[in-house]
């Protein structure tokens, strides 16, 4: 809404800005947190948070890490938080998520964050036909990115005034798909309203990673919600003893259980053959027409959409009573029926008939779940497993029933920890465990297990859900590596270098040893880069990094600072003798020319050295002194090394 503070329009409460917590603790960002005081309208000023690729990579890593174990009921709040954090980070005015309907024909705006003064559109864009944006939908459905610096040219391409209105206040747009298993579930959008904006390739690539993170989270949320719904209804049918069960062909009763006769006070002959609205009043308490509304519910169930609702019934003698009704399509004997389960809310008595009939629905939900579900005896022998479980482990049903769950464990320690947790608490939720498939492939999994306890306290049965998160963890590790390593050479970057330097200094202080910091660059690199091109320069840098990595000790750290500058940490040295040896070794590395595009290219290195604690007790001081020594070596003609002295400051 115009003129208001920033808005976060979903059923969840607004998410407070995560930037302060990210600065204070870069490895912890709680996306499910409730607001704790930071103003939603407090925009992060330009330059307050470094907008570089590495910072965005770290932000993505935090978001990914938090979503892994975020409970499904907190995922909407987590998405809201992620939208605000990313929007503030890349300085855009509106961020949002659209999700597709089950058949893919419509899209709805499910989550949104707006900066102060920016119009909210979430209420207006619900159940929008995808074909209202034909050009847009054609790109997104292929899993590609929509990026436009100037949105004004899109107006002639939309089909409706409503679609055109989406772009009226917009200057620039970036949209990335949300896809899972190759299927597009929706998309994330970023609107620049106040001024035009251009997104770098690196930013677009990382925001695509956000699309993958949200896809996994939404898919998990849908699966868990489906499983919880099935378990709830299954338990309802099994635990209640006073449910009336009807079978209808189209809209006519063809059979019912004895509880239905008792509940409605009639005989079988008085029910079979009657229309379904025979036992309802003309209108429901809210004034709707009973026949019309009940027909709508039944035909919806025939199309495969389970119905559950409250209804006002009347018994055969006209007495009114309220009930809970569940409608579900089932197949029996080659015929399609609508099964109606009616529960008298006033009595709630158990019925064995309802328990028997619910098994059909339970098996349908059990087999249809995308998550791998199993039931095991107390000794680990598998008693039952659904189709998803068989596909995940590559086994037939016969092989599953002949197997023991313990056979799939990779680590005895992990298995022992899980067993102790189940004995102590009776359940485990999202327990990280490595499991082995039939073909020997090892998976990283999240396992949720509940136990069935006998009267004497013994565990007699396990019921579990297994989710393969191997791909997710691999993506997380990739993002983590990108955040701490130079993308060209694969060497540690500036951030990882400083982390290791601080640890080395702390260890040296405890042990009374020294550290050598060596900064060096390649002599005449600029001339090579300018004459042969940047690609040749990159090849030279990668070759130099490879030679350095093969020469140094495992305890040493070599990092690329940028350009052709490298920094080296030599920990736990006792004097300059070690420095001389390493420096000579590095200089000898460049004695053999590099082969670049079929040509021999020679270069040398200029090295500056600073010792801890002799030449400085702070990391920044040591690096600065090593840098000064290196430039002194270059001034002396290069291809040499020089240790920092106080005379350099006077020079």
Q: Give the chain's domain count.
A: 4
Q: What is the mean pLDDT of residues 249-262?
A: 86
Closest CA to 524 of 608, 438, 634: 634
Look at residue 189 and tell me if it is in a domain. yes
Task: Write out the H or E segment, with its range, that includes residue 263.
Answer: helix 258-264
Q: What is the CATH number of the domain that holds 607?
A: 3.30.70.270
Look at residue 479 and tell me if it is in a domain. no
Q: What is the mean pLDDT of residues 292-320?
A: 91
Cα angle 389-303-288, degrees, rounded to a multiple of 5: 130
Instruction: Show contacts of 442-447: CB within 8 Å, 24+ apart.
Output: 442/410, 443/392, 443/468, 443/470, 444/468, 444/469, 444/470, 444/473, 445/469, 445/470, 447/418
Look at residue 101 and tell me if it is in a domain. yes
* Region of poorest pLDDT, from 151-165, 239-253, 290-304: 151-165
- Predicted confidence at residue 326, as pLDDT, reads 92
Q: Does one domain contain both 172 and 288? A: no
Structure tokens at 424: 């102590």
Q: What is the mean pLDDT of residues 262-272?
A: 91
Look at residue 146 and tell me if it is in a domain. yes
| Domain extent at residue 400 | 372-470
**Considering the chain, what percentage of its residues have pLDDT values greater than 70?**
84
The stretches of 31-127 forming alpha helices (DSSP H) are 53-68, 75-90
Q: Does one domain contain both 613 and 646? A: yes
**Considering the chain, what percentage of its residues have pLDDT values greater than 90?**
18
- Predicted confidence at residue 364, as pLDDT, reads 67
Q: Does one domain contain both 517 and 627? A: yes
- Predicted confidence at residue 651, as pLDDT, reads 57
Q: Does one domain contain both 209 and 247? A: no
Q: Does one domain contain both 631 and 597? A: yes
Q: 410 or 17: which carries more pLDDT confidence?
A: 410
Q: Does one domain contain both 260 and 392? A: no
Q: Does one domain contain both 579 and 526? A: yes
Q: Does one domain contain both 440 and 503? A: no
Q: What is the mean pLDDT of residues 331-348?
A: 81
- Predicted confidence at residue 557, as pLDDT, reads 87
pLDDT band at 161 (very low <50, low <70, confident <90, very high): low
Closest CA to 58 of 471, 479, 492: 479
Look at residue 1 and tell me if it is in a domain. no
Strand pairing category for 382-385 and 427-436: unpaired
How many angstroms separate the CA atoms of 420 and 3, rounded?
56
Q: What is the CATH number of the domain that holds 150?
A: 3.30.450.40
Q: 229 or 249: which carries more pLDDT confidence?
A: 249
pLDDT band at 624 (very low <50, low <70, confident <90, very high): very high
Q: Which residues in 427-439 are b (16+ Cβ under 10 Å) and which e?
A: ebebbebebeeee
Q: What is the mean pLDDT of residues 440-457?
A: 88
- Predicted confidence at residue 253, as pLDDT, reads 93
Q: What is the mean pLDDT of residues 296-315?
A: 91
Q: Is 247:337 a contact under the CB 8 Å cutoff?
A: yes
How many angstroms separate the CA atoms of 213 and 215, rounded?
5
- Predicted confidence at residue 290, as pLDDT, reads 92
How many angstroms separate the CA atoms of 280 and 323, rounded?
11
Residue-wise pLDDT for 373-422, tens only, equals 888 898 888 888 888 888 888 888 888 888 888 888 888 888 899 988 88
Q: Does one domain contain both 47 and 167? A: yes
- Is the four-CA dihedral 317, 318, 324, 329 of positive or negative sign? positive
Q: Is 366:386 a contact under the CB 8 Å cutoff?
A: yes
pLDDT band at 269 (very low <50, low <70, confident <90, very high): very high
The stretches of 142-200 forming alpha helices (DSSP H) are 161-165
- Predicted confidence at residue 563, as pLDDT, reads 85
Tokens 């495992």 belong to 554
The packing angle between helices 534-551 and 525-532, to 10°, is 140
Q: Does one domain contain both 33 and 159? A: yes
Structure tokens at 339: 């099964």
Last residue of a domain, one of 349, 382, 415: 349
pLDDT band at 136 (very low <50, low <70, confident <90, very high): confident
Query: Which residues are CB-contacts of 492 (< 8 A; sequence separation ≥ 6)?
Result: 484, 485, 486, 500, 557, 558, 559, 560
Task: Write out the H or E segment, with its range, that includes residue 216.
Answer: helix 201-239
The 8-class DSSP code of residue 204 comes to H
How many angstroms separate the CA atoms of 302 and 322, rounded?
24
- Predicted confidence at residue 35, as pLDDT, reads 33
Residue-wise pLDDT for 457-501, tens only, equals 888 889 888 888 888 888 777 777 777 788 888 888 888 888 888
* Region of poorest pLDDT, from 24-28, 59-63, 156-160, 585-589: 24-28
Look at residue 45 and tell me if it is in a domain. yes
pLDDT band at 515 (very low <50, low <70, confident <90, very high): very high
How many angstroms separate the CA atoms of 571 and 113, rounded?
48
Q: Does one domain contain both 340 and 265? A: yes
pLDDT of residue 48 exceeding 70: no
pLDDT of residue 246 exceeding 50: yes
Q: Does one domain contain both 553 and 593? A: yes
Q: What is the CATH number of the domain that holds 291?
A: 3.30.450.20
Look at residue 438 and tell me if it is in a domain. yes
Q: What is the mean pLDDT of residues 509-530?
A: 88
pLDDT of residue 277 exceeding 70: yes
Structure tokens at 298: 């039944």
Tokens 């597009």 belong to 184
Task: Write out the H or E segment, with its range, that includes residue 177.
Answer: strand 172-180
Look at residue 355 and tell me if it is in a domain. no
What is the DSSP code string of 601-646?
Answer: E---EEEEEEEETTT-SSHHHHHHHHHHHHHHHHHTTSSSEEE--H
Report field, pTM of the whole predicted structure over 0.85:
no
Tell me how far CA of residue 309 lies from CA of 27, 343, 400, 629, in angstroms: 45, 11, 38, 80
- Predicted confidence at residue 361, as pLDDT, reads 62
The residue count for the chain: 651
């Amino acid at each position: 809404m115009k003129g208001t503070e920033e808005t976060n329009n979903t059923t969840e409460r607004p998410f407070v800005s995560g930037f302060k917590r990210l600065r204070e603790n870069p490895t912890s960002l709680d996306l499910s947190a409730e607001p704790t005081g930071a103003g939603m309208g407090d925009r992060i000023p330009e330059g307050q948070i470094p907008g570089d690729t590495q910072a965005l990579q770290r932000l993505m890593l935090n978001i990914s890490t938090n979503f892994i174990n975020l409970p499904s009921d907190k995922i909407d709040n987590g998405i809201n938080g992620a939208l605000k954090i990313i929007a503030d980070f890349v300085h855009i005015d509106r961020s949002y998520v659209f999700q597709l309907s089950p058949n893919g024909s419509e899209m709805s705006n499910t989550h949104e964050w707006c900066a102060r003064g920016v119009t909210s559109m979430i209420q207006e864009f619900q159940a929008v036909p995808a074909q209202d944006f034909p050009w847009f939908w054609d790109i997104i459905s292929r899993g590609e990115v929509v990026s436009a610096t100037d949105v004004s040219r899109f107006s002639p391409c939309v089909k409706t005034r409503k679609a055109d209105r989406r772009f009226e206040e917009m200057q620039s747009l970036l949209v990335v798909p949300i896809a899972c298993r190759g299927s597009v579930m929706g998309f994330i959008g970023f609107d620049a309203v106040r001024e035009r904006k251009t997104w770098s390739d690196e930013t677009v690539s990382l925001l695509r990673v956000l699309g993958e993170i949200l896809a996994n989270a939404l898919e998990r949320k849908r699966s868990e919600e489906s499983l919880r719904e099935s378990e709830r209804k299954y338990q309802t049918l099994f635990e209640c003893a006073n449910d009336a069960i009807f079978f209808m062909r189209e809209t006519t009763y063809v059979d019912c259980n004895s509880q239905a006769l008792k509940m409605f006070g009639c005989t079988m002959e008085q029910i079979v053959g009657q229309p379904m609205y025979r036992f309802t009043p003309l209108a429901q308490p809210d004034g709707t027409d009973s026949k019309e509304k009940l027909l709508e519910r039944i035909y919806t169930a025939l199309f495969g959409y389970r119905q559950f609702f409250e209804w006002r019934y009347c018994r055969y003698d006209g007495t009114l009573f309220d009930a809970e009704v569940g409608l579900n399509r089932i197949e029996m004997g080659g015929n399609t029926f609508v099964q109606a389960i009616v529960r008298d809310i006033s009595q709630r008595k158990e019925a064995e008939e309802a328990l028997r009939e619910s098994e059909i629905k339970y098996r349908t939900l059990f087999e249809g779940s995308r998550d791998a579900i199993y039931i095991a005896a107390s000794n680990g022998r598998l008693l039952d497993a659904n189709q998803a479980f068989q596909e995940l482990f590559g086994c037939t049903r016969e092989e599953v029933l002949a197997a023991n769950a313990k056979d799939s464990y990779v680590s005895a320690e992990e298995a022992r920890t899980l067993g102790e947790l189940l004995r102590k608490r009776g359940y485990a939720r999202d327990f990280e465990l490595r499991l082995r498939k039939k073909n020997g492939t090892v998976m990283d999994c999240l396992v949720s297990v509940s136990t069935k306890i006998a009267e004497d306290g013994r565990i007699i049965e396990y019921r579990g859900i297994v989710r393969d998160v191997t791909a997710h963890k691999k993506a997380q590790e990739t993002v983590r590596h990108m955040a701490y390593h130079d993308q060209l050479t694969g060497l540690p970057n500036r951030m990882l270098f400083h982390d290791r330097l601080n640890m080395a200094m702390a260890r040296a202080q405890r042990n009374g040893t020294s550290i050598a910091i060596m900064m060096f660059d390649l002599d005449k690199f600029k001339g090579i880069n300018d004459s042969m091109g940047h690609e040749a320069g990159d090849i030279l840098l990668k070759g130099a990094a490879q030679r350095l990595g093969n020469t140094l000790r495992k305890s040493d750290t070599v990092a690329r600072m940028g350009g052709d500058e490298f920094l080296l940490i030599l920990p736990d040295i006792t004097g300059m003798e070690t420095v001389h040896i390493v420096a000579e070794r590095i200089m000898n590395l460049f004695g053999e020319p590099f082969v670049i595009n079929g040509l021999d290219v020679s270069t040398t290195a200029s090295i500056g050295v600073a010792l801890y604690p002799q030449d400085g007790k702070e990391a920044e001081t040591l690096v600065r002194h090593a840098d000064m020594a290196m430039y002194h070596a270059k001034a002396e003609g290069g291809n040499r090394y020089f240790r920092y002295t106080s005379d350099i400051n006077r020079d």
